[in-house]
Chains A and B, each alone.
Chain A
Amino acid sequence: DTGVSQNPRHKITKRGQNVTFRCDPISEHNRLYWYRQTLGQGPEFLTYFQNEAQLEKSRLLSDRFSAERPKGSFSTLEIQRTEQGDSAMYLCASSLESADEQFFGPGTRLTVL
């Protein structure tokens, strides 16, 4: 399957712990996006990369959140000192530069106890 993949699919953690998610985009896509989706809502933009450069960050992305895409391929999203309000589905998407369509992965569901 050559779609966007995300790992893990589910993560349960205790408040205050750090968590890291991984996203592998479609191989020829140079743009990679992170979104967050809470129950009953649409996805909200967090940040995006073009190759290895992080070009935009939402105000939703507090300083406890950090994202990297070191070699312009896979990306990681780390949340430090998790809070219950961080519980959500974290979605990754990728696209060709300036293409309209973004292809979404299955998401990582985070539950913070």
Chain B
Amino acid sequence: GDSVTQMEGPVTLSEEAFLTINCTYTATGYPSLFWYVQYPGEGLQLLLKATKADDKGSNKGFEATYRKETTSFHLEKGSVQVSDSAVYFCALRGSSASKIIFGSGTRLSIRP
């Protein structure tokens, strides 16, 4: 069945460092891909999405590109801030499905 594998955490970086969180997926057809973020004490929020191959999703300085050839959707940010500290989930929705399948999450901590 469909699945998502993402980089295990926790990840600790200094402010202004470059961030990459790896995500790969297994799915039939053409899934939609997502990154969700969960800030401390808050609910899950959609960070960005991409719905077809080579699409780039972006929001709040974060980017991820839908790479069908490598079945990947890595999250990147050029300069992280303390306020980016959160748990990040890579996820997919199959082309004929309604449910979202999530990875296990990566906890990111940014040091001032």
A residues contacting B by CB (< 8 A) are 4, 31, 33, 35, 40-45, 48, 55-56, 58, 91, 93, 100-107
Q: Once the chains are docked, how many angstroms separate the CA of A20 from the CA of B71?
A: 40
Contact A101 to B102, CB < 8 A, known contacts A42-B89, A42-B91: no
CB neighbours (8 Å) of B32 from chain A are: 100
B residues contacting A by CB (< 8 A) are 4, 32, 34, 36, 42-46, 49, 51, 89, 91, 93, 98-105
Q: Once the chains are docked, how many angstroms separate the CA of A103 from the CA of B34?
A: 13
- For residue A7, give the distance in angstroms from its CB to the closest CB of chain B: 14
The answer to whether B93 and A100 have CB atoms under 8 Å apart is yes
Q: Once the chains are docked, how many angstroms separate the CA of A45 from the CA of B45?
A: 16
Q: Could you show 6 A-B contacts with beta carbons less than 8 Å apart?
A: A35-B100, A40-B105, A43-B89, A45-B99, A93-B44, A100-B32
CB neighbours (8 Å) of A40 from chain B are: 104-105
Q: In the complex, which of the residues B36, B42, B99 contacts A56, with contact meaning CB atoms closer than 8 Å?
A: B99
Q: In the complex, which of the residues B36, B43, B98 contacts A106, with contact meaning CB atoms closer than 8 Å?
A: B43
The answer to whether A105 and B104 have CB atoms under 8 Å apart is no
Contact A43 to B98, CB < 8 A, known contacts A100-B32, A104-B43, A104-B45: no
